[in-house]
Amino acid sequence: MIELENLGFSYGEGEMLSDISLKLAPGSFHFLTGPSGSGKTTFLKLCYGALQPTAGHARLFDQDVRHMSRDDMAMTRRRIGVVHQDCQFLDHLPIADNVALPLTVSGRDSLEEVANLKELLDWVGLGKRASAYPPELSGGERQRAALARAVIMSPDVVLADEPTGNVDWDMSQRLLQLLIELNRMGKTIMIATHDLNLIRTAKSQVQARVLRIAGRRLQLAGADL
């Protein structure tokens, strides 16, 4: 589904990612770690086509990112749910509409889907905050809403960038359980995080691989994690 081949990337001055090859198998669970500024967010952006590799290839669902039209890209985005580090909401719409946005833009905002929306908001514990606007939500609430939006299209892949960055331990456990549940439903999951405890908890429940960005390369982290 997501396939990187000898991928390199640079924002302009000097490569920040080099020679990265990775194939995300369907149903797999990955963590992505690395120091702040090492390029985790950049890497995820390459995985959902928001950035194009400056060397090598990125293929999403067997299509080379470089040869995809903007409409192709839009269709691909509907199959990849992303929890953005900075959430990326429309501040003029209530949180329920923001969560439903992927349905809206793909013309799937039918009654049935709206019923699912209610269920989904309850699932992330935002049932009572549905009509609040994004700026009125706490950091943790926003991240839960972002997760809800990422999965509402029931995508094949979920990429989560620091989904537990702003929440306490209990809440991060809850969010992790949501993602593990999705994985058990067959979704492919990749979570970028600094939180080693989170990774340890996850590894006790699912088979997760831990990738680390170090020195511009992607490595498989050791068994210590």
Partner 1 sequence: MSNLAILFKSLFSSDNQSDRVVPPSGFTARLTVFASGAMAFLTVFALALSLASGRLASRWGDELAHSSTLRISAPAEQMAEQVQTALRVLDTTPGVALARALTADEQKALLAPWFGPDLPIDSLPVPQLIEIVETEEGYDGAGLRLRLQAEVPGAVLDDHTRWRKPLEQAAGRLRLLGWVAIALIAATTAAIITLAANAALAANAQVIQVLRLVGAQDGYIARAFVRRFTLRALSGAAAGMVLGLGAVLLLPPAQDAGGFLTGLGFTGAGWLVPFVIPPLAALVAFLATRTAANRVLSELP
Ligand X SMILES: Nc1ncnc2c1ncn2[C@@H]1O[C@H](COP(=O)(O)OP(=O)(O)OP(=O)(O)O)[C@@H](O)[C@H]1O
- Distance from C-alpha of 140 to C-alpha of 147, rounded to nearest angstrom: 11
- Distance from C-alpha of 148 to C-alpha of 103, rounded to nearest angstrom: 12
Least spacing, CB of residue 193 vs ligand X, in Å: 9
Residue closer to ligand X by CB (options 36, 69) is 36
If binding is defined by CB under 8 A, does position 71 make contact with partner 1? yes
Interacting partner of 39 out of Mg ion, ligand X, partner 1, none (Cβ under 5 to 8 A depending on kind): ligand X
**In the 8-state DSSP scheme, what is residue 127?**
G
Cα dihedral: 93, 187, 86, 36 (round 10): 180
Q: Taking the mean position of all CA atoms in its chain, how far away is CA 113?
A: 22
Residue closer to partner 1 by CB (options 146, 211) is 146
- Which residues does 126 contact at the CB level (< 8 Å), separation at least 6? 95, 99, 141, 144, 145, 148
User: Could you tell me the two tokens for 177?
Assistant: 């359980």
Considering only CA atoms, which of 98, 101, 97, 94 is closest in space to residue 132?
Answer: 94
If binding is defined by CB under 8 A, does position 85 make contact with partner 1? no
Instruction: Let me know how long the chain is.
Output: 225
Residue closer to partner 1 by CB (options 90, 214) is 90
Select the span of 55-63, 81-89, 173-181, 213-221 touching partner 1 (CB under 8 A).
81-89
- Which residues does 120 contact at the CB level (< 8 Å), separation at least 6? 99, 148, 151, 152
Q: Is 80 helix (H, G, I), strand (E, B) or coil?
A: strand
Residues that bind ligand X (CB under 6 A): 11, 16, 34, 36-42, 85
If binding is defined by CB under 8 A, does position 131 make contact with partner 1? no
If binding is defined by CB under 8 A, does position 89 make contact with partner 1? yes
| Residue 43 one-letter amino acid | F
If binding is defined by CB under 8 A, does position 59 make contact with partner 1? no
Interacting partner of 101 out of ligand X, Mg ion, partner 1, none (Cβ under 5 to 8 A depending on kind): partner 1
Interacting partner of 96 out of Mg ion, partner 1, ligand X, none (Cβ under 5 to 8 A depending on kind): none
If binding is defined by CB under 8 A, does position 170 make contact with partner 1? no
Residue closer to ligand X by CB (options 96, 147) is 147
Q: Are 157 and 187 in contact (CB under 8 A)?
A: yes
What x/- string results for residues 26 through 65 when contact with Mg ion is judged by CB under 5 A? --------------xx------------------------
Residues that bind partner 1 (CB under 8 A): 50, 70-71, 73-75, 77-78, 82, 84, 88-90, 92-93, 97, 101-102, 104-106, 109, 149, 153
